[in-house]
Each structure stands twice: as structure tokens, then as C-alpha cells.
Structure 1
Amino acid sequence: MVKNTGRPGYLQIADDLRDQIRRGSLAPGNPLPSTTQLAATYDASLSVVKLAVGVLRNEGLVIGQQGKGVFVRDDAAPAPPASNELTEIRATLRDLSERLARVESTLADRE
């Protein structure tokens, strides 16, 4: 499932698992599949899968229990509503476009 997009495989896996957690496919308290199962699912090495799980740990979405596995945290943050996220993205793009136009204008004035 890891694709040649230029984005590291471990981040692609972390993105997919994060999405599953936020959609509720991996519910709070539920275990993640084993590292071996995830490696088979994503056709990736064990080290790549471990890096992906590490990303989710750092984000506070999952927690490891020695000898038991990795579990979705009970207090894992739900996904923000898509419309709010899209509004934020549009505002950021607008801001970046305005900043780029100012930079280009400044550079054009120097020439």
C-alpha cells in the first residue's frame, strides 16, 4: 500500500493509521494490528512500520504496553470537521499567495 509518491513510507502508513483512528475504524482502547501484520498489510519492512507507529506515539494517538501491544489511546483527539479544515487551508493558501505576490513585486522593483 506504500506508494512511490516521494513521501516516506513510514509517513504514508502513519497517515493511514491516523485516518483510521479518527474515523473510528481503530477505536479508543483497541489494539493496533501487530507490527508483522502491519508490515504485510502495507508491504513494508518492520522498521518502516515501527517508525510509523513511533510517529503516532509522538502525536499521542497510541500508547504501547510492554508485552501486550500498542493501543489507541482513550483520549485520542477526534478529527476536526472537514469544512473547518478546508476553510483553514483556503485561508492559508490565500495568505501565502498574497505574500508571494509581495515578494515578486519587491524583486521586480529591484531589477
Structure 2
Amino acid sequence: MKILTAFIAATAFTFTAGYVQARDLGPDEALKLRDAGTIQSFEKLNAVALAKHPKSTITDTELEQEYGKYVYQIELRDAQGVEWDVEVDAVSGQILKDHQDA
């Protein structure tokens, strides 16, 4: 019986762990990370996305911690009205994802 209980607990933990992998960071926490030099400035991260989609407008941004990485998500609208989602590694400034919003 103890083995069955341990197996069920381990399965439940593994199943729910996937839901905890991404976490939104609030403005205060994001500013602390920026001020500490842990992540790049938001201006630099925005510039990375805008360089990928010139003449676009940023419509929304969000900082998340995903699988131990800080990911800056930027939503853009280009001159033709097409919406783009760009994810940037907030530490390195490298583009992780760049796709048209569906």
C-alpha cells in the first residue's frame, strides 16, 4: 500500500509540475531584476523586437520566468496591421521565438 501511495503522489507531482513552469513577474519584481543587472533594460529588449519588425508599434509587454529563464514577451503590430509575438531572453537579448499572432 505504501508503494501505491508513493506512486500516486509522485505521479500527481509530475503532472502538476508542468503547470508551474511559467510565472508572470510583476512590475516591482521586473524592475528589481533590471536594477540589479540580472536582466537587460526594457528599452534594449524592446529595440531587439523592433529591429526584427521595423516600423512596428509595441502593443504589450510581459516578463515571465519560464523553466529557470527570464523571458520578455513583446506583442507588436506592424505597418500592415499584422500582429507579431516576439519572445526575447531577458538576460542575453537573444530572440527565442518570433511568430505571427494567430
TM-score for the superposition, normalised by structure 2 = 0.22
Q: Which has the higher strand share?
A: 2
Structure whose CA Rg is larger:
1
Higher relative CO (CA 8 A, sep ≥ 6), structure 1 or 2? 1
Task: Give the structure-1-normalised TM-score.
Answer: 0.21
